Structure 1
């Protein structure tokens, strides 16, 4: 009855099988049985298992961790190893960058890809050979520090022209791009795709180089003195030894943007909108005079009076021109020109010989104009957005013929 009331639970073991521990359900506590006596002692081989060490005892038995001890100094050997590893990684990164730059340079469209082929140089630049192109580069390279880019001109920063922002292309490749533009007549988008740059960069590069070459090449006096003309006079001109210049007009097709410009640019001779300029060539084929471009409706007389060629001619000189060059009254010197029939049925023998000789010689200026028009840029119609820069492009293309090829007629 007593066991049932307090819920005694008997615990059996080898040493104290009769020991019972009562369990009170009401208070949830364990209680000793009445009359129980201790029976586990050291003399009967009983040992206490011991208690688990306290928290502060465990801390004293283990060294402190240094995970967050920022004030502690690292081992010098560890620092040296880390520095060596950093240096090796930096060298590896530099080598990888160098390889990437070399691969990009080899893949990018530029002069280096065609240096071994004069045929390709001729096609892409109109220079007869790589050697001639490099000679021209040697002439203008020392003047590159004085180049003012379009960006500098717009912002007005002219104080340090030698230290502009780093360009995406090397200067020689910028020049190559400009020559591609003239020689092949490539569009801006095409050049941007070839060179891997933005279209705005192409426009800025072409404008900058046209202004630069216009200034550099235009500063060289191209009108050749009389004695130098005689030194280089070809054999074909022996009967015309006083000839100093062969004159002809060159017309470029254009696309006027306004009705006013259309009315001024329409050429009755070409039945198209054109820009017209006067070109002068020495007997041996060098360009010696380039006039600005005028609208196609302006007469030859107006261009002759305005362009400045009359101030260079003297009474003792002679000018050779095509039959349609009707400016006798305005030229202060002799003019060699094919004679007209003037309502006659036939020419005299002397006039026939003069006509044949003149035709053979005036073909030189036509060949030179052909050299200029070999720049495919002039094969297409000039768009309105290039009108502000067309004089520079035209003059540079004409001046470049003095560097791109040998003489038309050898002395």
Structure 2
């Protein structure tokens, strides 16, 4: 009687008659995979290309065998003809071999070897019968015969056997030499002509090196006074310009790239335009105001590349060039005070606002904010400040044309640079005395007010102030000489308008001073 571990009685299972118990296994057995059938496939045939095809040596063997099973003399006569192509595919060599087996009474069971040896290639031929095996090894020597080639600078090998044929060969060689010499002269002339054309094109290439001896052209294209000044400024900017991250779109770019680290170079193919040409391109865009299409043709670039170069360099110059002209101290200003300002020795800065025309925005609010009642046009306005000797030391950001001069002066950051004892010279419209820092005075022409006319002393004062204040107008006129600011500025330049105006303003400082210190 079977019982479980709990003491429960278990019944013995009964099987049907003739049935066998089933054994269960928790491990799944994988059936064996039948072995693959053996396949008899011929080896693949190698397909030779037409231009690499080499004719194999052909072996023609004709064997005449006369033998008798009862005759002890067996004579084998084998003629072997071998056609071996030479370097030109025409040479043929036909050796002959006679084979005689061992004179025994019965057919020989030992193979008989016959070898005919020459110098170069070896071809092994084996023939067999029921009673004997003959191994024939034949070596052939290839004779090269150079055929006449199509090229004029190749010559045929001399195979002449007689004096007349040798004379013909010499005459052919002399004729070919004359042809080759004429050809060389023509090629030399072509090389000289092409070299002259290249030099002429390089001499007329639109690049700064073309105008290195023409300061007037440099002044016209760049706004800088001479080629020496142009190269000095480029030498200062080049180490930083080598690691520029070129602008791809208006989206924000990363702060730095791996190639911008010291000692690293920018990856990718070499740029078509050198850094010097890129710098020249940007200055031409600012000074002459050429369109991107024109610059692309002149420098052999695409319009998108020109746009990317200009946008990148403008932002780069906006950071670097103003750093060359920091706001001068009060002591430095008074030490270099021109004689014309002897009546106003405490003048620190002369200020004035200027406006540039812009394309009318599509939004009504933007149109209203940029409308200038003074210019009767949509404009941007900027505050410009110069030292008494005419050096531009302050340029504000661009404001909409509706903003007043007083509001721009207050929010531009100029007042934070002034010190007690300074004097600010401005036009009559700058009523900013109430917003100046303590100890800073304002020097503007007197107002007529409700009076009919100014007094004689006020007229003289107005003339004295105007005679020195005119220098700020001259400085602004230099800025307007950069023709990118001519006419109406398109909307496409709006994202870079501040940078363009500031760079143009500070580039004028490389020109000779407006006021000479006599």
TM class by shorter chain equals 0.7 to 0.9
**How much has 1:203 moved relative to structure 2?**
0.4
Q: Distance in 1 between matches of 2:354 and 2:218?
A: 26
**How much has 1:227 moved relative to structure 2?**
0.9
Q: Distance in 1 between matches of 2:80 and 2:475?
A: 102
Q: Distance in 2 between matches of 1:236 and 1:219?
A: 28
The answer to whether 1:409 aligns with 2:509 is no
Change (3 A) 1:110 1:280: same
Q: Distance in 2 between matches of 1:314 and 1:227?
A: 11
Contact 1:254 1:274 in 2 (8 A): yes
| 1:302-330 per-position Cα deviation (integer Å, ceiling 9, x unaligned) | 21221111111223100011122222221
Which residue number in structure 2 is paired with residue 135 of structure 1? 232
User: 1:358 is matched with which residue: 458, 462, 465?
Assistant: 465
Which residue number in structure 2 is paired with residue 158 of structure 1? 257
Which residue number in structure 1 is paired with residue 305 of structure 2? 201
Contact 1:174 1:205 in 2 (8 A): yes
Give SS of 1:246's match. strand
Give the RMSD, CA atoms, in angstroms.
2.9
Which residue number in structure 2 is paired with residue 119 of structure 1? 216
The answer to whether 1:217 aligns with 2:354 is no
Which residue number in structure 1 is paired with residue 37 of structure 2? none
**How much has 1:346 moved relative to structure 2?**
2.8
The answer to whether 1:270 aligns with 2:375 is yes
User: 1:373 is matched with which residue: 480, 483, 487?
Assistant: 480
Q: Give runs of ≥4 in structure 1 deviating > 4 Å.
A: 98-107, 152-157
Change (3 A) 1:288 1:55: same
Tell me whether 98-107 or 361-370 shows the greater mean CA deviation.
98-107
Q: Distance in 2 between matches of 1:167 and 1:342?
A: 64
Contact 1:281 1:365 in 2 (8 A): yes
Contact 1:245 1:320 in 2 (8 A): yes
Equivalent residue runs for 1:241-320 within 5 Å: 241-258=345-362, 259-320=364-425
Q: Distance in 2 between matches of 1:392 and 1:324?
A: 27
Tell me whether 153-162 or 383-392 shows the greater mean CA deviation.
153-162
Contact 1:108 1:196 in 2 (8 A): no
Which residue number in structure 2 is paired with residue 9 of structure 1? none
**How much has 1:260 moved relative to structure 2?**
2.4
Contact 1:222 1:287 in 2 (8 A): no
Contact 1:279 1:289 in 2 (8 A): yes
| 1:43-83 per-position Cα deviation (integer Å, ceiling 9, x unaligned) | xxxxxxxxxxx933699444633679xx99xxxxxxxxxxx
| 1:346-398 per-position Cα deviation (integer Å, ceiling 9, x unaligned) | 32332222111111111100000000000011112111111111111111111
Structure 1: segments with no counterpart, 5+ residues: 1-53, 73-91
User: 1:238 is matched with which residue: 332, 342, 347?
Assistant: 342
Q: Distance in 2 between matches of 1:401 and 1:221?
A: 11
Give SS of 1:174's match. helix
| TM-score normalised by structure 1 residue count | 0.75
Contact 2:221 2:288 in 1 (8 A): yes
Q: Distance in 1 between matches of 2:79 and 2:318?
A: 86
Which residue number in structure 2 is paired with residue 65 of structure 1? 85
The answer to whether 1:147 aligns with 2:244 is yes
Contact 2:223 2:507 in 1 (8 A): no
Change (3 A) 1:268 1:358: same
> Number of matched residues?
334
**How much has 1:243 moved relative to structure 2?**
0.3
**How much has 1:147 moved relative to structure 2?**
2.2
Q: Distance in 1 between matches of 2:356 and 2:450?
A: 33
User: 1:334 is matched with which residue: 441, 445, 453?
Assistant: 441
**How much has 1:219 moved relative to structure 2?**
3.4
Give SS of 1:160's match. helix
Contact 1:125 1:176 in 2 (8 A): yes
Q: Distance in 2 between matches of 1:220 and 1:199?
A: 31
Larger Rg: 2
Give SS of 2:326's match. coil
The answer to whether 1:177 aligns with 2:281 is yes
Q: Which has the higher contact order (CA 8 A, sep 6+)?
A: 1
Bigger fraction of residues in helix: 1
Q: Distance in 2 between matches of 1:378 and 1:245?
A: 24
Give SS of 2:434's match. coil
Bigger fraction of residues in strand: 2
